[in-house]
Structures are given as structure tokens and as C-alpha cells.
Amino acid sequence: MARSATRKRPAAPAADDGGVNPKAPCPCGSGRRYKHCHGSGYAPPVTRPFEGLPGEPHWVALRELVPAATVPLRTADGREVTLASVLPGGAPALVRANGEILLGVQLQASSDDVSRDLGTALAAALEAPEGAPVDPGPIGGAGSAGPRLQELVDLGAPFEVTVHPDFAFWLEGTEPSAAARAGLEQANQAVLPTELLPGLGAAYWVRPGNERAHLRWVRPEPEERLLDALARLRASGEVLLGEGTRYAGAFRAHGLLVPVWDLPADTPAAAWTEPATRFQERLERALEVTDPLTADERRARAGLLSRQITLR
């Protein structure tokens, strides 16, 4: 993706000796090596583009994990908007003939600040006439001057996700053509069975095939603190969700850590709410511990890091 060479980086936090090893993790917390982040001549991407928005972990999940879901949003001036995981053709936004505004979070292209990309699309949709195509201009280019979501969305409104079994919501309230129905049918074939476990934040069950299912849980805690807590649980044998489960690792997406468990495919999603709730209780206790990690816990933490990747 293009990045402007004229944008200067904010200063990275200084190391104790006044310098930073180019191969060391950047002190800014991006997860990149210093030489590829604040140690280079280019501006880094926004590490947490959804920070400050209600439901930040769900924003990450809808952007990266969930195939079909919607959320009612309200703008700062009181207008109603429907956030969707993805819209037909990957459109960034659309306005229906009845005036309903839909914003798609899974953009086909994005810049180093996804929040600004989505804010640009939303601002264009708010100005577009009913039933007209939304043209926000280039999305995903460098140097966008559009607003960020944090400037447009009511930050005090609740964020309530509805996961759908397919993309039928695309055509709700419309009179679709045969081509639209055919496109919907084709899109529905790619939807993986996905459910949100109730009362557990952004904990999403998904079954990609007949052999295994997964629990992907976008966590809101700071990464280092969360890794310490997971290491304590792994060292004590408490990181699993039950018989037949396996802690598969974690990935970082938009500044948040997403632990993943492998689960038996033949166990329905609802059956994992109780085990996940018990794990949540264990994790909360581990997060409260401030003692230095033991030798076993340090080894467990190293094992966790070896299974961690960064998506974005």
C-alpha cells in the first residue's frame, strides 16, 4: 500500500540507554521491529484504528473474522446507520431508496488508518441522496483528509452485534432483481457458520469444516498484560476450554490480541458458553496477579509468542 514519504513519524519512546536496537521490537508497541517502524523514514499505520469507539473488539472481529453481521450505529448528530461486516460487491457504503444508510467495514482496500477510510465512506453516505450510489472518492490511498469514525459516531451509544447465517440482510426492504438474487446466492455459499457467544465480549465460534471448529476471542486488554495472564494459565494447565480442545495460538489484529482455540466440530456453539465463562473467570484472576513470572511461566510465555502472528 502506498505511504507518503513526507509524513514524519512521531518520536518513538527512547530506550534507557538513549538508543534502540534496530532489530528489537519498536518501543511504540506496534509489534514491528524498530527499523521497520519508528526507525524507518515512513509513517507507521495507526496501530489501533478503532480505539475509543464503543465495542472496539467487535469492530476488529467484524473487520477480520465475521462473515455476516450487522450493528445499529448512531452518528454524533443522531442519524441512524447500519454497520455491516461486508456489503454487495465490497462497497464501502450505500444508501437505500428508503434512506437507510449501510456502512461496510470490510473494505476492499484500506490505508494505514482504517478508521479514516471508514469515516470517509460514512461522511459521503451521509451526504448522498436516497437510492443513489455512494462515491467517497479513493479509499485506501495515502494522505486521506476525510474524518475518522471517532469524529462521526456517537461514542456513548451501545454496540450490539447481530450475527446472520447469510447475507439476506443485503436485500431487506428492497425488490431485488434476478441478478441481485443470484449474486446473493453466490455470496451465501462462502459464509462459514459463525455465532457470538453471549455475555463474553467479542468471543466468536466458527466452524470452517467438518473436522474442527474454533473459538476466536478478540480481547480488550493490553497485549503484554494479557500474555502474562495467558502464560500463567498455560503453565498451570488452565488455558484449555475443556476435553478435546487445544489452544492453537493467537494473532494480533488492529492492535488487539485474538487468542484462538481448536474445538470439536460436532459440539454446537452454545455448549461452549459455560466453558468460556469459566475460562474468563480464570483469566480475570490471572490478570490481577502482578508478581514476576516464574521460570515455568516464562517458558509458557515464550511458547505463546512462538504461536503468535500479526494480521494488521
pLDDT computed for residue 210 by the predictor: 86
**Does residue 28 surpass a pLDDT of 80?**
no
Average pLDDT, the chain: 88
pTM of the model: 0.84
Lowest mean pLDDT among 70-84, 103-117, 216-230: 103-117
Q: Report residue 228 as a C-alpha cell.
A: 502474562
- Residue pair 136/123 in contact by the 8 Å Cβ criterion: yes
Reported confidence tier of residue 31, pLDDT bands at 50, 70, 90: low
Lowest mean pLDDT among 19-28, 116-125, 209-218: 19-28
179-198 burial, b if ≥16 CB within 10 A, otherwise e? eeeebbeebbeeeeebbbbe
Q: Report residue 183 as a C-alpha cell.
A: 449474486
Alpha-carbon distance values, 28 to 18, 139, 219, 251 (Å): 15, 27, 20, 18
pLDDT computed for residue 250 by the predictor: 96
What domains appear along the chain, each with residue ranges and CATH number? 1-44 (no CATH), 56-188 (no CATH), 194-310 (3.30.1460)
Reported confidence tier of residue 133, pLDDT bands at 50, 70, 90: confident
- Residue pair 259/247 in contact by the 8 Å Cβ criterion: yes
**Does residue 254 surpass a pLDDT of 70?**
yes
Reported confidence tier of residue 39, pLDDT bands at 50, 70, 90: low
Reported confidence tier of residue 110, pLDDT bands at 50, 70, 90: confident
